[in-house]
Amino acid sequence: MEQQELLKILQLGEGLRIEFKEAQNGVPASFYDTVSSFLNRDGGVILLGVNDDGKVLGLNNQNLMVIKQDIVTALNNIDVLNPPFPLAVNEVKHQGQSILYIRVPVSSFVHKHSGIVYDRENDSDFRITDEARISEMYARKRNVFTENQIFPNLGIQDLDHSLFDKVKSRIALVNSNHPWLEAGYSNERILRDARFLRRDFTTGQEGLTLAAALVFGTDDVIGNILPAYKIDLLVRRDNMDRWDDRLVLKTNLIDSYLKALEFVKQKWPEKFYQDSEGRKDLRELIFRELIANVIIHREYNSAAPTEIIIYKDKVEATNPNRTRFRGYLNLETFEAEPKNPNIRAFFNVLTWADEIGSGVKNMNKFVKVYSGGASPIFIEDEPFKSIIPMTSSKLGDRFKLYLYLSQQEEEELGVDRINNLKNFPINLDLETITDLDELALDLVDGWQEKSKDLDKVRFLVNEKTSLEKFKKAGSWQEKSGELLKKRGKVLLCTLLWTIQPIGLEDLANKLGYRSKERFRDDYIKPLKDNKLIEYTLEQANDPKQQYKITERGIHFLIGHPL
């Protein structure tokens, strides 16, 4: 902090974005109230060693060190500040007196100090307990992007200028007419075009942003600004307690993307995909999306690492995240929301990221081809989790379990349905289960649990039973009766019959319903409304109309998340 800035702060006095603390006896208890309120409102600067009137009291050398250590420790403690938010504590001299200053940015999270949410008004921190006010704060945070945090003391000279040449070389390969390639187009202008050099019209502050530091910063700059930031890639195929191979990245996002992509690709055999543009490496298509997503959607204010773990049959990535909801992403209906829109747009220029939302859908398509039918799973939570299956285990002879549970005959269902059923890729969590009794319990439990989130499907099962008791039930007819109530059996039968297209009247007859209208209303409509089955023809009343199971319906059957 320059003396000119310090004098201006002292002259302005306490207000919405300025707070003074005497701190003569250590860190005052109210300090963390202010940190929380600044993070939750518009950010600000806290001076320690200054009284409420702006008089500099100073801090002695012993007190300086204790305060620094206490603050750094506390800001990483979830019991003090939740979620934690590490901040730099710096020293500045004024007329021979030492004071400490802490710059607090606006955060994309809602923070609590000791379980209490604080907000800032004028020069005061106040508690918020009203749920409506807290909800308003969460809504406001959706428009706050961590990447836009300005660092006034970060200059263009602090960046790694070789990275600008690397960016231009990449752009030249994909768009030789891009304006950044024009002679005389300065690095500063590139930063402004990318919105990495910006002015905050609320505060009047102008400077390089966190995004600029992450994309173009030296390792020293990144380590100074985000000391906990890292991308940790681990191979766990033989040594499950530690790792077989590891790559830790704490560098700029350009090199992080390239190194992470190459590391993950090398761990899988080549498989190729042919489209209108030619022959493509499926590993490139899958992991390009995965690596880009963890970089451009990461919450960089979090001290947690990004982890990418490579197993024998899958890749799992966990990424610090600012949640919108908690649960599985429905790939058919989800609406993507940018977490770092400027970084995403920059990666889009390099063609390392597609339009928002399309990356996840592309990954779904390419993973199915590579794995032989398995689908990726994406879980919105803190952290965000991506599970990418690279192999698939077919249901195979375990298809008989579905016949046992539904009390259907193999000959009646027909060869085509049975062959399709055998080729369904079973959920990776269930593939190691060879005991049919155990698999039956897990599947039925999953069907019941998933149906709770489906409107009017009501997959009814009997009370949960132990594996030991279930094995003693005797025949599969008895076991089926012990697990599934009639409604559950009919829903299961309907999904099995629609593996091949079938008309309403035929389906009702097969399942013993005289009234096709009642069968349609009780079973077909709920399954169709929840997209577990669908029409084969666009015109609903077409006399040739039939029903077939959807991919979502197959996911339901095989124990895959919806």
Give 47-58 pLDDT, tens digit per residue.
999 999 999 999
Quick check: 427 pLDDT over 90? no
How would CATH label the architecture of 231-391?
2-Layer Sandwich (3.30)
Please check the confidence at residue 185 and state whether its pLDDT lies above 80. Answer: yes
Report the chain's terminal Cα–Cα distance, integer Å. Answer: 53
* pLDDT > 70: percent of the chain: 97
Q: What does the alpha-carbon distance between residue 302 and residue 175 come to, in Å, rounded to a whole number?
A: 35
Q: Sort strands 44-48 and 18-21 into parallel, antiparallel or unpaired.
A: parallel
Pick the range with the lowest mean pLDDT from 168-177, 246-255, 432-441, 527-536: 432-441
The band of 334, judged by pLDDT with boundaries at 50, 70 and 90, is: low
Predicted pLDDT of residue 250: 96
Tell whether the model's pLDDT for residue 339 goes beyond 90.
no
What is the reported pLDDT for 275?
80
Percent helix, percent strand, percent coil in the chain, to nearest 5:
40, 20, 40
Q: What is the pLDDT, as a whole number, of residue 202? A: 66
Coil, helix or strand at residue 560: coil
Q: In the chain, which residues fall in CATH 3.30.565.60?
A: 231-391
pLDDT for 336 equals: 66
Nearest to 167 by CA among 303, 31, 348, 329: 348
User: What confidence score (pLDDT) does residue 323 get?
Assistant: 77
Distances (CA, A) of 526 to 10, 406, 444, 457, 520: 66, 19, 19, 5, 9
Q: Please provide residue 404's backbone torsions phi and psi, each rounded to the nearest 5 degrees.
A: -60, -45
**pLDDT at position 355, please?**
64
The reply to whether the predicted model has a pTM over 0.75 is no
pLDDT score of 519 more than 70? yes
pLDDT confidence of residue 512 = 92
- Residue 67: pLDDT over 80: yes
**Distance of alpha carbon 39 from alpha carbon 368, whole angstroms:** 42
Q: What is the pLDDT of residue 311?
A: 94
- pLDDT for position 204: 74
Reported confidence tier of residue 406, pLDDT bands at 50, 70, 90 = very high
Residue 152 makes CB contacts below 8 A (sequence gap 6+) with 205, 206, 207
pLDDT averaged over the chain? 89
Local confidence band at 245 (pLDDT 50, 70, 90 cut-offs): very high
Residue 346: predicted pLDDT: 93
The mean per-residue pLDDT over the stretch 251-278 comes to 93
pLDDT exceeds cutoff 90 at 231: yes
Q: Is the pLDDT of residue 499 over 90?
A: yes
Q: What's the rounded Cα separation, in Å, for the pair 110 and 249?
A: 28
> Of the ranges 40-49, 193-202, 236-245, 246-255, which one carries the lowest mean pLDDT score?
193-202
Q: How confident is the model at residue 360 (pLDDT cuts 50, 70, 90)?
A: confident
pLDDT the model gives residue 78: 87
Query: Is residue 325 predicted with pLDDT exceeding 80?
Result: no
Q: What are the b/e assignments for 133-144, b being 16+ CB within 10 Å?
A: ebeebeeebeeb
pLDDT at 105: 83
Please identify, in words, the CATH class of the domain defined by 3-143: alpha beta
Could you tell me where in the chain the CATH 3.30.950.30 domains are found? Answer: 3-143
The Cα-based distances of 167 to 181, 255, 347 in angstroms read 10, 11, 10
Percentage of residues of the chain with pLDDT beyond 90: 54
pLDDT at 527: 95
Summarised one tens digit per residue, pLDDT across range 115-138 is: 999 999 988 999 998 888 888 888
Task: Judge whether 405 and 478 are in contact, CB under 8 Å.
Answer: no
pLDDT per residue over 266-311, tens digit each?
A: 999 999 988 877 888 999 999 999 999 999 999 888 888 999 999 9
Q: Is the pLDDT of residue 356 over 70?
A: no
